[in-house]
């Protein structure tokens, strides 16, 4: 009996040590994938403070946070889709149509704002469901389906707006300009969306199945996971986030134009890539994507403070995306470049990073699997 009592604290200590070790490995893995964007964002703000201090002034930050919040919401939605081996090119259509619905239908009458917002969410969820079902059931590739959906959404947009902007309602403008405790409300909503999405994906069994199914469709199917369900949920969640971004954007800009969402396609993809989310599906972090969105927002603010034109700003964003994809490719196959320098092929000898074995948005083939055992409940 004495030996058993004496062994109990030891077993507890071992269990506690195992939990700490598992947590350390988890944090180390995720830090390794997203450390770059955290460091780059810190360096960018430091450089802005030194070379363009006006880009960090109170007025500049007051203008930065609301638009950064909109981009954060778009980046979260894009992250969910990319984690399911897709890419969403309908981001501009969702945001622009939402802006048109909540400005043109009320036409300055705040009493009509509520029904307009509900209609915007209904249309967005229906379009997101259509994206998910046509990709999973019909087999249309994500890039083709979302590009077509973007055209449909813009068709509805132009049918309502006739291509002309309308003043936003006073109620929506007051809502978007509210700053509880000095923090812009759009930023609070974006941070809340990041926390909720991260907790669902990382801390729930459904979220872990979501990542597992996105990492390898064939392996997930062999393990009993219903991959189609998670793909459809990704497009539904993305549509919900895009619509929220559009509602906030319509309140931030006093007279938004019908093409207001065009500014968020490339940055949303760039934020995901900068955040280290696997472009082949599976592992990713909406927190890192949000930091990537903040990096791009401040980068645009920094370039704008230098007096550069809009064309230069677009080139800088494109360069940031190209750099992120390049770094991602080198991380995926770290010995590829070195092997070429040494004159021997190293791609075949470099194992793919776990979670990066699924097909991408341009490849409909399921990867081969072997040695899959066990079955998880769907």
Mean pLDDT per 10-residue run, the chain (378 residues)? 51 61 51 78 93 89 94 97 94 97 95 96 97 94 97 97 94 95 95 96 89 73 69 96 98 94 92 87 89 93 85 81 72 53 48 47 44 44
Q: What is the DSSP letter of 112?
A: G
Quick one: which of 221, 250, 82 has its CA closest to 161? 250
- In this prediction, residue 219 carries a pLDDT of 59
What angle in degrees, to the nearest 10, is found between the helix axes of 227-252 and 91-104? 50
* Paired tokens of 89: 């090119």
User: CA 82 to CA 274: how far, in whole Å?
Assistant: 13
Give me the half-sphere count of Cα atoms (radius 13 Å) on the Cβ side of residue 309. 2
**Domain residue spans of the chain:** 36-341
pTM score: 0.80
User: CA 232 to CA 275: how far, in whole Å?
Assistant: 23
- H helices of the chain, in order, are 2-51, 58-83, 91-104, 113-133, 142-161, 170-176, 185-203, 205-215, 217-222, 227-252, 265-274, 286-305, 310-332, 336-341
CATH for 36-341?
1.10.3470
Phi, psi at 89, each rounded to 5°? -95, 5
- In this prediction, residue 67 carries a pLDDT of 96
- The DSSP secondary structure of 244-310, one letter per residue, reads HHHHHHHHHSSS--TTGGGGGHHHHHHHHHHTT--TTSS---HHHHHHHHHHHHHHHHHHHHTT--H
User: CA 245 to CA 234: how far, in whole Å?
Assistant: 16
| CA atoms 338, 341, 342, 345: torsion sign | positive
Quick one: which of 117, 143, 121, 113 has its CA closest to 131? 143
């Amino acid at each position: 009996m004495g030996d058993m009592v004496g062994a109990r604290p030891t077993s507890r200590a071992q269990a506690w040590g195992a939990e700490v070790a598992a947590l350390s490995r988890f944090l180390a893995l995720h830090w390794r994938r997203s450390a770059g964007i955290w460091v780059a964002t810190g360096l960018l703000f430091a450089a802005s403070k030194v070379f363009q201090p006006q880009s960090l002034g109170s007025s500049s930050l007051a203008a930065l946070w609301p638009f950064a919040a909109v981009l954060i919401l778009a980046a979260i939605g894009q992250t969910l889709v990319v984690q399911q081996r897709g890419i969403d090119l309908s981001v501009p259509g969702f945001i622009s149509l939402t802006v048109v619905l909540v400005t043109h239908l009320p036409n300055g009458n705040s009493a009509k704002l509520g029904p307009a917002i509900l209609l915007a969410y209904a249309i967005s969820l229906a379009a997101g469901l259509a994206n998910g079902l046509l990709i999973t059931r019909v087999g249309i590739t994500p890039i083709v389906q979302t590009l077509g959906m973007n055209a449909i959404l813009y068709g509805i947009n132009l049918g309502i707006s006739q291509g002309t902007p309308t003043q936003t309602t006073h109620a929506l403008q007051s809502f978007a300009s509210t700053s509880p405790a000095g923090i812009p409300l759009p930023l609070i909503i974006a941070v809340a969306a990041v926390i909720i999405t991260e907790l669902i994906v990382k801390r729930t069994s459904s979220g872990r199945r979501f990542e597992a199914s996105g990492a390898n469709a064939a392996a997930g199917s062999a393990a009993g996971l219903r991959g189609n369900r998670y793909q459809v949920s990704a497009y539904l969640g993305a549509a919900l986030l895009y619509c929220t971004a559009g509602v906030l954007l319509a309140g931030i800009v006093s007279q938004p134009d019908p093409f207001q969402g065009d500014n968020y396609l490339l940055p949303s993809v760039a934020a995901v890539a900068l955040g280290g989310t696997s472009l082949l599906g599976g592992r990713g972090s909406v927190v890192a994507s949000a930091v990537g969105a903040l990096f791009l927002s401040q980068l645009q603010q920094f370039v704008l403070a230098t007096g550069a034109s809009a064309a230069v700003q677009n080139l800088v964003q494109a360069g940031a995306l190209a750099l992120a994809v390049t770094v991602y490719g080198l991380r995926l196959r770290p010995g590829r470049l070195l092997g070429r320098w040494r004159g021997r092929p190293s791609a075949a000898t470099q194992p793919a990073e776990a979670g990066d074995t699924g097909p991408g948005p341009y490849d409909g083939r399921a990867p081969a699997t072997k040695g899959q055992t066990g079955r998880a409940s769907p």
